[in-house]
Amino acid sequence: MENLENDDQSVNKMKDFLYIYNKMAETCFNHCIENFNSRELTHSEESCIEKCSSKGIAVNHKLMMCYIDIQPEVINKRAEELQKQQDNVNMINNNNS
């Protein structure tokens, strides 16, 4: 059972990665590619693609670092909320007994 959950998490992580990668590729393509008359990139297109993708990767890394920093707080807050809900359910059940 735990392996299935790990597989689902792995699949979701891969989907998230591919979504971000595809959005970055689409954004850089739309921003940088100007000419469809040649199979080869022009020097300016190639330079633009490199800068755009580097910025996209840097932004993604910064976002991940922020996520890693705040994630424990989010988990703790959610655990507290769940504990309060459980306490309320227990109190209601005790009052009805």
User: What are the structural domains, with CATH classification, of the chain?
Assistant: 4-96 (1.10.287.810)
Count Cβ neighbours within 10 Å for each residue of 50-84 and write b for 16 or more, e otherwise: eebbeebeeeeeeeeeeeeeeeeeeeeeeeeeeee
Query: Residue 1 above 60 pLDDT?
Result: no
Per-residue pLDDT reduced to its tens digit, 36-59: 999 999 999 999 999 999 999 999
Query: Residue 62 above 90 pLDDT?
Result: yes
Confidence bin at 92 (pLDDT 50/70/90): confident
The pTM of this model reads 0.61
- Straight-line distance from the first to the last Cα atom of the chain, in angstroms, rounded to the nearest whole number: 36
Query: Residue 33 above 80 pLDDT?
Result: yes
Supply φ then ψ for residue 65, to 5 degrees. -65, -40
Per-residue pLDDT reduced to its tens digit, 7-26: 888 898 899 889 999 999 99
